[in-house]
């Protein structure tokens, strides 16, 4: 941008000093012209572009109007002249990259890094709930407030993107196959390096890399990190804290369309602070608050050449519309926003949440052990029951075989029928009548009496035909009863004579 002296006034705002210059404009410290208290604000100025889509400031206004409150700057005024567009926002202190370099050890202690992570997790929850991803997470875009130094702010939304379909709120855009690079090489995710479409999880990858950077004195291993295709694998290695490895494990499970588990990540960071015995740090001031010069936004920290951020940022104009690009397999993954899943975390409630988490973990273990014991009991009972039914099944089989033995005399009685004696027909009718009774009781198996009759009539084929006729006539029960009655009267008459 131009190195000319800034104007004295822009609209009704008096310019106090220049805070910085970027690729898209300047940042001034201003106060209102007629304000006797001279309350300080920050003003972002951008030169007007021929194509309105090139205006980065328009995206920032859109995001900050949707995401207001804690961890984000408020917009106090906005306007434009013939040549520029400007917004007046909350004044911030130095960004964290300058504050880190100003520390005696040129790094933050581990509890401070965890505390930064806790506040930024809350910030990303709010940002993602509003439907935006940042895509340029780095220490230069995180700063404590000038008037509220205990609170960190996330800013610079020039590369942000709305992740939901404009015509269908709450439904994710389809992941694009390949996109231009967005972000900063040192702090971006693997997906950004591979020119893949970034999702909510990529913001958290950037945050995790930033938290690890805060623990290092220098960034001398930058080139070795970039030489690897998997940045996180090389960077979050053996020297990485255990809590970061746990967070990394959770992030590895998330895909483009997945919503990260913000609460679980916050609990992991809190437990690390608690394990270090620094739980008071959650309410105590940051370590840089004891050094006022570190907070002064007007005193800039000099950077060496190897510490300069190498931002290879493309223009917003060259972005692809997600509606025209889909995944390689043509799939479309959608997800609905659930407001209840993105409740704000409070530092005061983190202890209670960790206790609840521990209790739930114990309950799960107890439930799993109970299930295992029940499975063992059921398996033992099954083994016992497998042998018992076999003995019971054999007993009724012997009972069923006894009536079959009683049927043997019928075969002996039917032997004289082979010699052509007439009484065989009567005996056959009796046996058929018995077979009919069983057939009435056992209508499901009418073929059983026929089998017994066939066994008794092996000697002659003619008797089989007669037995078939007898069966037809035996359907009517009255004639059978007459035969029995007549046989009895005749026998009784002979005895009387």
Q: Would you kindly state where each structural domain of the chain is located, as residue ranges?
A: 1-91, 92-345, 346-395
pLDDT on residue 351: 53
Out of 196-200, 249-253, 339-343, 351-355, least confident range: 339-343
Average pLDDT in the 16-22 region?
Answer: 87
**pLDDT at residue 158 tops 90:** no
Residue 177 burial (CB count, 10 A): 13
Residue 384 is assigned to a ligand binding site? no
| pLDDT at residue 338 is higher than 70 | no
User: Is 92 exposed, middle or buried, given 0-12, 13-18 or 19+ CB atoms closer than 10 A?
Assistant: buried
Least confident of 109-118, 123-132, 163-172, 339-348: 339-348
Q: Is the pLDDT score of 266 beyond 60?
A: yes
Averaged over 16-26, what is the pLDDT? 83
Rounded Cα gap, residues 343 and 263, in angstroms:
9
**11 among known catalytic residues:** no
pLDDT band at 7 (very low <50, low <70, confident <90, very high): confident
Name the CA dihedral angle for 460, 465, 466, 471, rounded to a multiple of 10 degrees: 130
Overall size of the chain counted in residues: 497
Please say whether the beta carbons of 268 and 246 come within 8 A. yes
Higher pLDDT, 436 or 185: 185
Name the superfamily (CATH) of residues 1-91.
Phosphorylase Kinase; domain 1 (3.30.200.20)
Nearest 5°: the CA angle 287, 288, 294 is 170
pLDDT value, residue 166: 85
Nearest to 90 by CA among 113, 74, 110: 74
**Residue 372 or residue 61, greater confidence:** 61
Span 395-424, average pLDDT: 48
Average pLDDT, the chain: 71
Reported as a single tens digit per residue, the pLDDT across 74-93 is: 999 999 888 899 999 999 99
DSSP codes, 260-320: P-HHHHHHHHHHHHHHTT-GGGGTSPPGGGG-HHHH-TTSPPP--GGGS----PPPGGGPP
Three-class DSSP category at 332: coil
The mean per-residue pLDDT over the stretch 34-47 comes to 92
Is residue 71 over pLDDT 80? yes
Separation in Å, CA 267 to CA 124, 315, 353: 15, 37, 7
With a threshold of 0.75, does the pTM exceed it? no
Instruction: Kindly report the backbone phi and psi dihedral angles of residue 299, in degrees, each rounded to the nearest multiple of 5, phi listed first.
Output: -105, 110
CA–CA distance, 176 with 160 (Å, rounded to integer): 16
Torsion sign across C-alpha atoms 102, 105, 110, 111: negative
Phi/psi for 246 (5° steps) reads -65, -40
Looking at 23-174, list the stretches that DSSP marks H as alpha helix, in order from N- to C-terminal side.
56-66, 96-102, 110-129
Residue 328 has pLDDT above 70, yes or no: no
Q: What is the pLDDT of residue 133?
A: 97
- Round to whole Å and give the CA distance between 357 and 362: 9
Opening angle at CA 208, ends 202 and 292, nearest 5? 125
Domain 92-345 top-level CATH class: mainly alpha
How many angstroms separate the CA atoms of 313 and 318, rounded? Answer: 11
In this structure, of 347-351, 379-383, 460-464, 485-489, the range with the lowest mean pLDDT score is 485-489
Residue with tokens 């008096």: 14
Most confident of 125-134, 265-274, 469-478, 480-489: 125-134
Asked if the model's pLDDT at residue 410 lies above 90, the reply is no
Please report the pLDDT score of residue 339 as a whole number.
30
pLDDT > 70 fraction of the chain, expressed in percent and rounded: 55
**pLDDT greater at residue 175 or residue 222:** 175
User: Which of the following is catalytic: 97, 98, 136, 197?
Assistant: 136
**pLDDT at 126 > cutoff 70:** yes
pLDDT at 340 over 80: no
Cβ–Cβ < 8 Å for 13, 88: yes
Same fold, 1-91 and 92-345: no
Q: Determine which of 86-90, 212-216, 291-295, 478-482 has the lowest per-residue pLDDT on average.
A: 478-482
């Amino acid at each position: 941008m131009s190195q000319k002296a800034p104007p004295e006034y822009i609209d009704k705002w008096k310019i106090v000093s220049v805070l910085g210059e970027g690729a898209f404009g300047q940042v001034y410290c201003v106060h209102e012209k007629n304000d006797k208290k001279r309350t300080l604000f920050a003003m972002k100025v951008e030169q007007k572009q021929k194509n309105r889509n090139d205006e980065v400031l328009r995206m920032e206004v859109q995001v900050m109007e949707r995401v207001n409150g804690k961890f984000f700057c408020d917009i106090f005024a906005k306007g434009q002249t013939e040549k520029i567009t400007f917004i007046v926002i909350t004044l911030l202190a130095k960004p964290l990259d300058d504050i880190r370099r100003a520390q005696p050890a040129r790094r933050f202690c581990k509890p401070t890094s965890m505390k930064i992570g806790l506040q930024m997790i809350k910030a990303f929850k709010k940002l993602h709930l509003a439907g935006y991803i940042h895509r340029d997470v780095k220490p230069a875009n995180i700063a404590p407030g000038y008037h509220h130094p205990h609170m960190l702010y996330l800013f610079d939304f020039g590369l942000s993107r709305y992740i939901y379909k404009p015509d269908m709120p709450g439904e994710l855009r389809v992941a694009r196959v390949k996109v231009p690079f967005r972000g900063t090489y040192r702090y971006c995710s693997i997906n950004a390096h591979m020119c893949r479409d970034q999702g909510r999880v990529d913001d958290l990858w950037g945050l995790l890399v930033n938290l690890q950077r805060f623990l290092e004195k220098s960034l001398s291993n930058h080139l070795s990190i970039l030489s690897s295709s998997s940045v996180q694998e090389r960077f979050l290695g053996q020297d990485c804290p255990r809590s970061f490895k746990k967070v990394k494990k959770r992030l590895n499970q998330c895909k483009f369309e997945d919503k990260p588990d913000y609460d679980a990540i916050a609990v992991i960071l809190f437990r690390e602070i608690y394990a270090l015995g620094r739980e008071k740090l959650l309410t105590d001031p940051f370590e840089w608050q004891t050094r006022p010069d570190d907070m002064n936004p007007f005193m800039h920290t000099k950077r060496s050449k190897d510490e300069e951020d190498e931002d290879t940022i493309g223009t917003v104009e060259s972005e692809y519309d997600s509606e025209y690009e889909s995944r390689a397999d043509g799939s479309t993954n959608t997800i609905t926003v659930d407001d209840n899943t993105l409740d704000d975390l409070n530092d005061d409630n983190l202890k209670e949440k960790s206790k609840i988490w521990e209790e739930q973990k114990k309950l799960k273990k107890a439930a799993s052990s109970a299930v295992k014991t029940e499975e063992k009991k059921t398996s033992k009972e099954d083994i016992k029951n497998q042998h018992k039914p076999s003995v019971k099944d054999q007993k009724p089989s012997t009972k069923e075989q006894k009536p079959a033995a009683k049927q043997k005399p019928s075969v002996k009685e039917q032997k004289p029928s082979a010699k052509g004696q007439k009484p065989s027909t009567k005996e056959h009718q009796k046996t058929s009548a018995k077979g009919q009774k069983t057939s009435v009781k056992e209508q499901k198996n009418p073929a059983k009496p026929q089998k017994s009759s066939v066994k008794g009539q092996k000697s002659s084929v003619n008797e089989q035909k007669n037995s078939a006729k007898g069966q037809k006539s035996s359907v009517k029960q009255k004639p059978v009863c007459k035969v029995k009655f007549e046989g009895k009267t005749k026998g009784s008459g002979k005895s009387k004579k």
